[in-house]
Amino acid sequence: MAKQNRRRRTGRKPAASPGLPVDAALSGDPSQVAEAIATVAFLAAQGDEQAIDRFVAQVADAQPGLGVQLAARRIIARAFEFGWSPADVHEAARRRVDEFALGYLTDLMAEHRAEFAAESVDEVWQSQLDALHATVWWTSGRPHLDQWAERTLLTAAEALTAALHALALLVELPELEQIIPRPGTGNHTAHHHVDERTLGRVRGLLAKAESTSFAEEAETLSAKAQELMTKYAIDRALLAPGRIDPDLPTARRIWLDTPYTDAKALLVDRVAGANRARAIFVADWGFVTVVGDDTDLDAVEILTTSLLVQATRAMIDNATTEQARSRHYRKAFLTAYATRIGEHLTRAAEATIAEAAEPARLLPALASHQQRVDRAFDTYFPTARTKGITIRSALGWDAGTEAADNAQLDNP
């Protein structure tokens, strides 16, 4: 699996602030207040853990709401210019700040979106905001911070503290690849997703796989879901074998929860490979970027979500001894599971392709598709490198492999 070796970030390291910009924050000039807010957010992002509390203690009663709003607009715009999407910001915040800072960021993203006409916003960008229920609910007569504090029942100091933690997180975000056009840039991507009928059938199979207590049945149902997604991809390739898409294949980020994110990332990578896509893992932040066509990415996303549930359940069911509950064992289990399940899914996809009609038309179309994906991946990640996973439990590896090998992958 590819892994990014770039460290395009702010260079976070502990540092004591030489002096907080309290006078600027108390000046009453919104532009000066904004600079003070940005400075404190930067200090916190650099590792000064006390900067926010010391600053808030001195300025919270000065009603800095307008200045906070000015600073926040600039900082969120910078995060989006750095390649972060609304879903990415939400996932990063969910892991690193509290619920109040998370809520503040949701409002901030809604305000940013409101500046642009609907036709200038990519459908994926808008769908991410819709999933977060991000709307501009406050009035324009008063600063957002003040109205948000009232709505969330926070004191002025608590609201300012939450806002500063949210802004510090945004400052800390590294630069990423721009995989979704930003609002107002004039760029639009034509998205072609799997039809709802096929998705409904796949979701039904995977729901059964997640609910059954029999590993063999779960794996069979998952393989059938892979077969359906491969058939859909084949039909698309045969319907438009000469299609020339001027755009690069698209990309998505799949965020992973701790622990064992590297083993879970391997599962994403193996599912991506079975579906003609490429994956790269950013370990510092815990997400995998997958490059491919929309329909293939739909397959990767839905299959990965289900297989992570199944793999975790198999790992827990297997934890009958103290050793089987150790971190080394569980990491080895998940890594072996991902490796073997990937092999099963790849075989299921290859068998479906081999049985397809019109191989003389299909195989060149699939080869051309793979070349486009490879070129896009190299464009997005020119310095990517391959890195393995260290395994320290042979028993865990054997158990994970056995759990995957119990599958009977014939069609039900």
From the list 141, 78, 153, 83, the residue with the least C-alpha distance to 108 is 78
Is the pLDDT at 234 greater than 70? The verdict is yes
Provide the pairing of β-strand 278-282 with 287-292. antiparallel
Mean pLDDT across 5-11: 45
Predicted pLDDT at 386: 65
Predicted pLDDT at 408: 36
Cβ-contact 403, 318 below 8 angstroms: yes
d(CA 160, CA 320): 48
Is the pLDDT at 169 greater than 90? The verdict is yes
Mean pLDDT across 151-156: 97
Structure-token pair, residue 357: 């009609």
**pLDDT tens digits, residue range 275-332?**
999 999 999 999 999 999 999 999 999 999 999 999 888 888 877 788 878 988 899 9
From the list 54, 61, 55, 52, the residue with the least C-alpha distance to 28 is 61
Is the pLDDT at 189 greater than 80? The verdict is no
Lowest mean pLDDT among 147-161, 203-217, 228-242, 319-333: 228-242
- Residue found under tokens 């490198």: 385
The whole-model pTM stands at 0.85
Q: What are phi and psi of 292, to 5 degrees?
A: 170, 180
Predicted pLDDT at 150: 97
**pLDDT tens digits, residue range 323-364?**
878 988 899 999 999 999 999 999 999 999 999 888 888 888
Predicted pLDDT at 81: 97
CA-to-CA dists, residue 61 to 138, 158, 260, 333, 373, angstroms: 21, 11, 44, 54, 55
Is the pLDDT at 230 greater than 70? The verdict is yes
Reported as a pLDDT band with limits 50, 70 and 90, residue 385 is low
Reported as a pLDDT band with limits 50, 70 and 90, residue 383 is confident
CB neighbours of 309 closer than 8 A, spacing ≥ 6? Answer: 210
Reported as a pLDDT band with limits 50, 70 and 90, residue 186 is low
Predicted pLDDT at 20: 93
210-214, 251-255, 385-389 — most confident range: 251-255
Predicted pLDDT at 175: 96
Is the pLDDT at 258 greater than 80? The verdict is yes
Is the pLDDT at 212 greater than 50? The verdict is yes
Predicted pLDDT at 348: 92
Structure-token pair, residue 23: 């006078």
Mean pLDDT across 223-236: 91
Is the pLDDT at 222 greater than 50? The verdict is yes
**Average pLDDT over the chain, rounded to whole?**
87
From the list 284, 341, 281, the residue with the least C-alpha distance to 309 is 341
Is the pLDDT at 76 greater than 90? The verdict is yes
Lowest mean pLDDT among 14-18, 89-93, 99-103: 14-18
Is the pLDDT at 243 greater than 60? The verdict is no
Is the pLDDT at 9 greater than 60? The verdict is no
Percent of the chain with pLDDT over 90: 68
Q: Which residues pair with 289 in a beta bridge?
A: 253, 280
Is the pLDDT at 405 greater than 70? The verdict is no
Predicted pLDDT at 398: 47
Is the pLDDT at 410 greater than 50? The verdict is no
Q: What is the DSSP code string of 128-177?
A: HHHHTT----S-TTS-HHHHHHHHHT--HHHHHHHHHHHHHHHHHPPP--
